[in-house]
A = this chain, B = another copy of it.
Amino acid sequence: MRKLVLYIAISVDGYIAAPGDDLAFLQKVEKEGEDYGYAEFMTEVDTVIVGRRTHEWVMQHAPDFSHDGRETYIITRTPRESIGNRHFYTGDLGELIADLKAKEGKTIFCDGGADVVHQLLKHELIDEFVISIIPVFVGNGIRLFKDGRPDGDLTLVNAKSFDTGLVQLHYRRA
């Protein structure tokens, strides 16, 4: 069975962005030649789920859109024609995930943003979590985990720390 993986960075105080979608805190751990396992993780991924705003942010800030070789589903309320293998999806998120998981394929990667993640968490659709904790307090902003989700057990798969102070925690839903 294919799995849906959330692979994301947060501050110690639990934010994925400062106010104004500010991701400057990620620079704290930028290091030549260190991608914290991202490229290796992406070799297992053939499908990406991403929110509309996050997709726009990525297109603005990283125009060499790194998911171009993968089926990408952009979750939006506005219907739009697909662009190559980028599909604008306006339907039920749970149905999309169920359909994708029923197909043959590799890992499905959720690339954010906060609203899509919250919907996926609320409906317990994420199978694994790779959370990279950046050694900073952001103080305010957009949280990874909003209130009002189901409780549930997790299994720690792996914990790894890096000399930049980043700690990467890998959990599986139990």
Given contacts A14-B145, A145-B14, A167-B169, contact A136 B161 (CB under 8 A): no
Which residues of A line the B interface, CB within 8 A? 12-14, 18, 25, 28, 121, 129, 131, 133, 135-140, 143-145, 147-156, 159, 161, 165-167, 169, 171, 174
Given contacts A14-B14, A159-B167, A171-B12, contact A147 B140 (CB under 8 A): yes
Bound-state Cα–Cα, A174 to B90, Å: 45
CB distance from A166 to the nearest CB of B (A): 8
Q: 23 interchain pairs (CB within 8 A)?
A: A12-B145, A12-B154, A13-B14, A13-B145, A13-B149, A14-B143, A14-B145, A28-B153, A121-B137, A135-B171, A136-B152, A137-B145, A137-B151, A137-B152, A137-B153, A137-B154, A139-B147, A139-B152, A140-B148, A140-B151, A155-B165, A159-B159, A167-B169
Bound-state Cα–Cα, A149 to B169, Å: 25
Chain B residue numbers with a CB within 8 Å of A154 are 12, 135-137, 165
CB distance from A170 to the nearest CB of B (A): 10
Shortest Cβ distance from A131 into B: residue: B12
